Structure 1
């Protein structure tokens, strides 16, 4: 790409992907309030149809609360093989337009179409064609955001969901970000949003008025990120082969566990699953993190960094047990998880050193 040339980035996000696949394959579920995930007392919603979302059902919600919010909610078990099959079909469509495709998950990806295989100068028309092809080849709908960088494209893709798209042209970036509600900024979760509210930050304009020193003081390392993105500065490139930062697994139990003997059994099962995933990905890690969710839903993590890389079930379990005994449990436990980070792929990632381009170039979006 020519130096100083503005990029054209598309963020494609499938609409309620898991739930939509289930409705696609089973016509009787179409138009119904549907949740993909466990229906037991300890189950968790993995995805919800738009019909269910109207009742406040959302992913990561316990099935008990979901059922309380929506008594007529239908639960179905996830079929990840089917989701992967359709995800691969969708990804092949992306490659018809560009090789610069960065998958984020099975149902979303970034595409850099600045220079594309179709020779189409309009990223908006490319996004529309991609969405149409996805529908023709899978029967599923997708939404898209189009703009000058990944951050704005991702925010924009959520604007006209489902089955819509939004383009933020270069000359519209400043106004778009200033009017954006702070909770819609990608990277601002509920806890951070509440903190910003207390500091009088409700919109992008409010955020933009804060100095870098102020943001660093209140948000630490994230301060610089917030300072830059609200000004449209986000240099992260679309990376076709994303480098994995961590790998893990977790289990929610049918009944709360208070016995450490039972916890050992669960940790052994989890560590075996992680070993399989590490082997498939051909990676190892040095930092192990134990995740504990108690019966009162409070969450605790305990971490340890080793001097060497590990990938075997035995060593993962040994480190996890050590973290388990690090301090006394305060309540019975409903969930345990283990993750491995500081992977041996980290040193392969090149550091991004980009100069900020002061003048934004206009082009056909």
Structure 2
């Protein structure tokens, strides 16, 4: 609902935007042919649209001598073959490229990456702020659009609404996300501050042991935090998943929305965010480092309709490794729900209309 910043920018300059497809992304930190294939298989099974090959595939990213037109000699990656394998599974492949290589090689990289079959690039360690680098960055996004490549700008770049003009700029970091493992108070500030500027690539973690918050808190992020390219399972590997039922929420949830409504909250204390895709509603509730009880009135649902609610909440009494309780029940629009959020916790809700 926040389009003021977008509307300060010129209208879309891409004649064809049909190739720009938002979706969830899984990062493959294991840069081996078989491991990237395993990541592709995992993405296909878990409703994830893209697999991202992270830093190191073309050599040490911080070295100016690293050549992003070729795979590092110590890697067995065949990127065109991986793109074809991904395509056969309905998955797109993306790559990370540090700005050191982008500055030197961009005009060579773009036709090559298009030929390989890549769908997008994550720009790494960009420089920001002054006129020279802002101009370079926007020109780079424009050139990517001309070659049918989506862009995710990482590090300190913050959105200025340029994605209205070149919507292949899908998202950007400019946020203290899960690479920094912030606490729940920080996470409940972000919806009221950073996200007012636009989409943010927080890189949602789940299984990683350094996360300071509960699993239900992490689940809820997929509904609370907006990013058309939504990176999920950051630092995780396919084998970490053991069939946890609550992760059906992440499988079902999209990354773009038909309607968004902030239902309740206070900055730095808690947030309850509802989002609709088609006829389904997804709700994320997150609290800070204090436990609290939140009453949710479901008057955002279509009046007179009944829904199946899939509810995922923290429960320390469960003898499971994630300690998330799954509850499934029928409700009608307007019913009240009581969510008991533990400290640094949350809840995730998926409403599916019943026929």
* TM-score normalised over the length of structure 1: 0.25
TM-score (norm 2): 0.26
Larger radius of gyration: 1
Q: Which structure has greater helix proportion?
A: 1
